[in-house]
Each structure stands twice: as structure tokens, then as C-alpha cells.
């Protein structure tokens, strides 16, 4: 089963519109990361959230981690074609066997921004 | 500048052959990870390491192995390549356990024919 659920799987918006991508876990997250990937390329780090209720912004992208640290949202304001790509959330989750954490990712959200 | 590099960027191999994908980072990071990315599955963890001589299995480790003989490198070996292992492979590294961002390589596109 997927440990991090992202929604929606894909999103098509008109340039200038706002949008939100969600990432949900059934477990408490030690750290939540948002990455962006363009087709055929590696992942680019966007933001990291650690504390419940934390919110960070970079340019027109805002990410929040809820108080229980089990859900995060990524909000883009006034979207532009440059925002297009695949957005992935990643998190440190405890191993089922106990002990150390592992870094896992959601399946990603493909964002298309039409001019 | 410090970086993480993967090689080769593209590889075509035949079923049954042994293949090794290289990952090299110059940040002196303790943690290194290998993922595969497939349509509909996202990034899935293959193996990871928290330091020299430490290796751990991820969720899709069957048919893959890694070794960590130094801090900078974590090569991924496919013992006997299968068509199901056709994928894009990403290597990542991070400084320490938890609460630090991971840096990703540019990926290796592997095709098994």
C-alpha cells in the first residue's frame, strides 16, 4: 500500500489560476518534503516542513503541514507555465520493523498550466 | 560545487546480464538512496545506506544489490537484468537521518531488452 497518498494525480489549470495539491499519511510524519520534477530530469527540492502547523512560502508556492503532522498541502498562487511539472511529496517514515526511518515518496501530481 | 552524479545517463542491456549503475556524491553525506520511478508507481525505494558498510533493503529490493565501501559512492547492481527492471533510476543523498533535504541525481534510464 502507498504510505503517502497524493491528490489529485493530475491537474490542468489555466494560467493565472490558483491550485492546491495534497499529501496525506496514515502515520505521523517526522519531516515532509516537497519536490518538483520536470520530465526526464531529477528532482528539485522546494520546501521542507517539520513542525505541526508550520507554513513556508517561496515565491508563489506555499506549503503547510497540519497540526497532527499527517497531511500537507502545496498551494500555488497565480499559476504560470513555468510551474508545470510533477510535484512529489516525500517523508521520513518509520520502518515497519521498527528502528530507523526511510525516505519515501508519493506517486506525484502532474501539473499542466495552459497559457 | 558539491554535487551528486549518476552514470550512465542511459543504458540498454540484455536480459540476464549484470548491470551496475553508479552514484557519486561530493557532499560527504552519510545517507544515500536508490529509487526507481515508473508510471503509476511514483518513486519507490530500492536500497539505502546510512553510512559506510551500512545497507538496507527498501520496498522493491528483489533483484538489486548495493554496497557502501566509502562515503561518496553507492553503486546499484542488477544481478541478472529482467525486462521488469526497465525504469528510470534515481540516486539521492542527504546529510543525516531525518529533517534534512535529499539531493537527487539526474537519473539513469535503463532499458532491458
pLDDT tens digits for range A8-39? 999 999 999 999 999 999 888 777 899 999 87
Least CB-CB distance to A107: which of B31, B41, B58?
Answer: B41
Residues 41-80, chain A, touching B (beta carbon < 8 A): 41-45, 48, 50
Low-confidence ranges of chain A (pLDDT < 70): 1-2, 94-101
Are A78 and A106 in contact by the 8 Å Cβ rule? The answer is: no
Q: Could you tell me if A107 lies within 8 Å of chain B, comparing CB atoms? A: yes
The pLDDT value recorded for residue A23 is 95
Q: Which has the minimum average pLDDT: A5-14, B1-10, B62-71, B104-113?
A: B1-10
**Cβ <8 Å between B106 and A102:** no
What does the block give as the cell for B9? 545517463
Q: Does B25 touch chain A (CB under 8 A)?
A: no
> Which pLDDT tens digit goes with each residue over B82-94?
999 999 999 999 8
Amino acid at each position: 500500500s502507498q504510505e503517502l497518498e497524493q491528490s489529485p494525480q493530475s491537474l490542468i489549470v489555466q494560467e493565472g489560476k490558483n491550485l492546491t495539491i495534497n499529501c496525506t499519511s496514515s502515520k505521523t510524519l517526522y519531516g515532509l518534503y516537497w519536490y518538483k520534477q520536470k520530465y526526464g530530469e531529477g528532482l528539485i527540492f522546494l520546501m521542507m516542513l517539520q513542525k505541526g502547523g508550520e507554513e513556508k512560502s517561496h515565491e508563489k508556492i506555499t506549503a503547510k503541514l497540519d497540526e497532527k503532522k499527517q497531511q500537507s498541502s502545496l498551494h500555488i498562487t497565480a499559476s504560470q507555465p513555468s510551474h508545470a511539472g510533477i510535484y512529489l511529496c516525500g517523508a521520513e517514515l518509520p520502518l515497519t520493523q521498527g528502528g530507523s526511518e526511510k525516505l519515501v515518496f508519493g506517486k506525484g501530481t502532474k501539473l499542466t498550466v495552459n497559457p | 560545487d558539491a554535487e551528486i552524479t549518476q552514470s550512465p545517463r542511459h543504458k540498454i542491456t540484455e536480459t540476464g546480464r549484470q548491470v551496475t549503475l553508479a552514484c557519486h556524491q561530493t557532499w560527504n553525506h552519510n545517507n544515500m538512496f536508490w529509487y526507481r520511478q515508473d508510471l503509476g508507481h511514483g518513486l519507490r525505494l530500492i536500497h539505502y545506506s546510512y553510512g559506510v558498510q551500512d545497507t538496507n533493503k527498501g520496498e522493491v529490493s528483489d533483484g538489486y544489490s548495493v554496497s557502501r565501501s566509502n562515503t561518496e559512492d553507492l553503486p546499484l547492481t542488477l544481478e541478472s537484468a529482467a525486462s521488469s527492471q526497465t525504469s528510470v533510476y534515481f540516486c539521492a543523498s542527504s546529510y543525516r537521518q531525518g529533517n534534512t533535504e535529499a539531493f537527487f541525481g539526474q537519473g539513469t534510464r535503463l532499458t532491458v531488452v
